[in-house]
Amino acid sequence: MATFIVLLGPPGVGKGTQAKILAETTKLAHVSSGDLFRENLKNQTELGRLAKSFMDKGELVPDDVTISMIRDRITRSDCGAGAILDGFPRTPIQADALEKMLAEFNGEVKAVPFITAPESTLVERASGRWTCREQGHIYHQIFSPPKKIGICDMDGSDLYQRDDDKVEMVTKRIRVYLEQTMPLVEYYRKAGKLLEIDGTQAVEQVTKELLSALYK
Ligand code: AMP
């Protein structure tokens, strides 16, 4: 059975960083809905243009287009054994759609690590974040700077600051998260899948706790 791990948590908590590490460790694919939207934006697809109008406001892209984008992505062969889902699902409708999709392909949500941190930490992290243009590797100007300013250590591509990582936008995204995504915490807790992780700790410590919670 294909194994899917859903990473849940507010914007700026470190989901993307942990998802990349987890994907390397578990050899599962890393599927980030935000990265997929940004890729569509870069390639100027119709989906990219539609998504941009919501992303620019810090709002969620409508469920139907988001669900069909993820469906296309997780039916690709690299997700045959499963995937680390980063940023999806973000609403109860998306979570229900995921259950239905996985039932079709003989997959299951195995666990849902829920990474938390206070709002001040989230704003500080997101507003200092630099993202690699090529593959989405993540840096922080103070906590994890690249070796060379503006250049990704991993693939040498440019680093840029996401428009939606400006302080006011991060605050708006946190509000959207509290209203629309928080209900998923209870959804997955009831299903016995929620693993709570303290995201204020150093990256390595969060990874360690994630791995031991997943494989205990
Ligand atoms: P992220 O990179 O996960 O912070 O996502 C960036 C933006 O992409 C979000 O603020 C939303 O506008 C959009 N987005 C990402 N994932 C989803 C999702 N599952 N549902 C709706 N919109 C999403």
pLDDT(183) > 90: yes
88 CA → ligand 1 middle, Å: 8
**Torsion angle, CA of 132/90/115/29, rounded to 10 degrees?**
-50
73 carries an active-site annotation: no
Mean pLDDT of 158-184: 95
pLDDT in tens, 18-62: 999 999 999 999 999 999 999 999 999 999 999 999 999 999 999
pLDDT(105) > 90: no
Q: Which CATH number fits domain 2-117+181-215: 3.40.50.1820, 3.30.565.60, 3.40.50.300, 2.30.30.240?
A: 3.40.50.300
133 carries an active-site annotation: no
pLDDT(151) > 90: yes
pLDDT(179) > 90: yes
Q: What is the DSSP string of 71-93?
A: HHHHTSGGGTTEEEEES---SHH
Instruction: Name the closest-CA residue to atom 1, ligand 1.
Output: 34
pLDDT(7) > 90: yes
pTM of the model: 0.94
Mean pLDDT of 163-182: 95
pLDDT, residue 216, reads 78
Catalytic pick among 52, 71, 162, 172: 162
Q: Which residue ranges make up each domain of the chain?
A: 2-117+181-215
Task: Name 30's Cβ contacts closer than 8 Å, sequence gap at least 6.
Answer: 19, 20, 22, 23, 83, 84, 86
